[in-house]
Structure 1
């Protein structure tokens, strides 16, 4: 008799949990659809069918990334060391590892869905929404730090930042997105070093310049 009661209570518990999870999923879907609509509306496509398809593509991707992230916490990755520097993996590193295991089809579906209805320039505009304009922001930083940055240097670093942007859209938090950009920024700085520049020296010179400008303003 006691066993039967326990089974009934467990069944009720699972039913309630199912209802709660379903409610949470619907709420999350509403949030992602709202965000997708806001992003796509900025393109001013003036084509309802196309807009609806794109909203579906973006909201599905946002929901899938969020659900994967929530169901794969950093604790699913064993604590260990970063083989590049021997330092312990941070919680952020472990979360990035967990999220990077998301099936590649999730990214492929996003990109193919966007390119079906948009030009490459418009696709870039949508990806900028995911990454809050980090490509332009980062390029502005490089142009300020690198003296007389050449057209070739600009093009190569721009290409790397655009790769960073596309890579970063499959991650949930801005901390993760920034960490993905750091991977490509390291590559950009290596490119500069390999082509006659000294990144560390340029950065130090820029930091001194900014410090001097701030000091001068205080004296005004």
Structure 2
């Protein structure tokens, strides 16, 4: 007889499996350590999911963004309500990761949560900004790594991408404040890509 699990139980099992896969990628030789890390990740993933599912965006009243004056979108309201989860959800995970893993392994887990957006975003800046300096790169990496650690506390890629956008704006403001023109560089980059696509079409 087939016994169907409730949707919530199925979701928790999927998160347990995800945590197990991520920890397996670390290739830890200490089984006790691996189990501790896996449990911390599974607990965190479940807490993030439960908070998201139990706190719909409608709990945040419709209104405006006080910085831009624009009406709050559903995603804005989603981010606001999800950002109110207890700090302990994040801190409990990071405490275990930093106690049990080295810095490279911690970064590997954070990259699993955010599907490698730090590397992807950095490659984007390197493609757009001509002759990116070491100082500029250091500032960009600092910002997008902050984005990554903050983004792990959000359930889906829309929310994760929105957190990265906050820090990408900081990167672009930094570049503008230090002699660069982000809008000009971005236009030059998109024009170049467009020209390359047109040239490729003509060669077909």
What is the alpha-carbon distance in structure 2 between the residues aligned to residue 64 and residue 103 of structure 1? 10
2:16 aligned to which of 24, 30, 33: 33
Paired residues in the alignment total: 200
Aligned residue number for residue 174 of structure 2: 191
Q: Which residue of 2 aligns with 1:154?
A: 137
CA RMSD of aligned residues (A): 1.3
Q: Which residue of the partner structure matches residue 122 of structure 1?
A: 105
> In structure 2, which of residues 75, 79, 82 is the aligned counterpart of residue 99 of structure 1?
82
- The answer to whether the aligner puts 1:46 opposite 2:42 as a matched pair is no
Match of 2:120 in 1: 137
Unaligned residue ranges in structure 1 (runs of 5+): 1-19
Matched, 1:201 2:184: yes
Q: Output the CA distance in 2 between the equivalents of 1:47 and 1:113.
A: 15
* Structure 2: gaps (5+ residues): none
Q: Does 1:172 align with 2:159?
A: no
In structure 2, what is the equivalent of residue 210 of structure 1?
193
2:202 aligned partner: 219
Out of 79, 83, 89, the residue aligned to residue 66 of structure 2 is: 83
User: Distance between the aligned counterparts of 1:89 and 1:26, measured in 2?
Assistant: 33
Query: Which residue in the other structure is 1:11 paired with?
Result: none
1:151 CA drift (Å): 0.9
**Cross-structure match for 1:111:** 94
Which structure has the bigger radius of gyration?
A: 1
Deviations 1:59-112, CA, capped at 9 Å, x for gaps? 000000000000000011101111111111111110110100000111000100
Q: Distance in 1 between matches of 2:33 and 2:141?
A: 29
Q: Cα deviations across residues 13-57 of structure 1 (Å, max 9, x unaligned)?
A: xxxxxxx9x944432321111000000110111221111001100
For 1:189 and 1:24, locate their aligned partners in 2 and report how far apart those are by CA, in whole Å: 42
Give SS of 2:26's match. coil
Shift, 1:188, TM fit: 0.2
2:56 to 68, 73, 88: 73
Q: 1:181 aligns with which of 141, 149, 164?
A: 164
